[in-house]
Amino acid sequence: MSTAHRDAMSRYYQLQAPIYDLTRRAFLFGREQIVCDLNLNPGEVVVEVGCGTGKNFSMIRGAIGDTGELIAVDCSEAMLSQARERIIKAGWNNVQVVDREYGWSSITRGAANVVLFSYSLSMIPSWREALDCAHDELQAGGRIGIVDFYSDGNGQLARAFAQWMSWNHVEVNRPYRETLAEQFRTRMWVRHRVMSNAWCYFRYVGVARIESAAEK
């Protein structure tokens, strides 16, 4: 984790935050589906890492109800400003935002039922540490859900897409599946090809393999 990365994210989203949801609709696929894949229940505690403008809040809040809790984490003040406005407008009193880079330490200390990364893991430089932290976040039987870009590195279009995304602080060529298998038991891994195989995205749901931080 670094101040440099935090500053870079703040600058990157400063102008984009107000129009983010409109401009990302064309290529951030599967965001609604991953929330459905997680089978959220009333009363559950959900940590969303890289919540952005709060696009997922309504679906999550609808599933966990008044008795649940949504903790939304991001390190861009511009995006968090949009998220706070969404919360105020909706009148939710069980949704809170946390301004921090995720991965230093767990927020709930093993009390979360679910951790969600929705197109955020690929923007976290210390992504393995973020997954370690997510594991410690979960209580026994807790689930992790991820939807994000993925590349098999094949073809000129795929390579060009990966290069373009790296200029935008997104890394698509990472061994997510192998790393996740070390800490989580896979419930679902689905890869989708987009735009004549120019790029892929994946949806993943897993369950922590060992005891949570609260039980160690």
Average pLDDT over residues 31-40: 96
Q: Is 45 helix (H, G, I), strand (E, B) or coil?
A: strand
Please report the pLDDT score of residue 162 as a whole number. 74
Give me the domains of the chain, ranges plus CATH numbers. 3-215 (3.40.50.150)
CA distances from 186 to 23, 72, 97, 134, 151 (A): 32, 24, 28, 15, 20
- Any residues with CB less than 8 A from the CB of 181 and at least 6 apart, and which? none
Tell me the angle at which helices 77-90 and 3-14 cross, rounded to the nearest 10 degrees. Answer: 60
Lowest mean pLDDT among 20-24, 42-46, 178-182: 20-24
- Residue whose pair of structure tokens reads 């995720």 in the numeric block: 102
pLDDT at 215 exceeding the cut of 50: no
Separation between Cα atoms, residue 142 and residue 46, nearest integer Å: 10
Q: Would you state the pLDDT for residue 10?
A: 52
pLDDT of 134: 97
- Looking at per-residue pLDDT, the higher value among 30 and 69 belongs to 69
Position 96 scores a pLDDT of 96
- Which pLDDT score is estimated for 208? 87
> pLDDT per residue over 76-123, tens digit each?
888 898 999 999 999 999 999 999 999 988 999 999 999 999 999 998
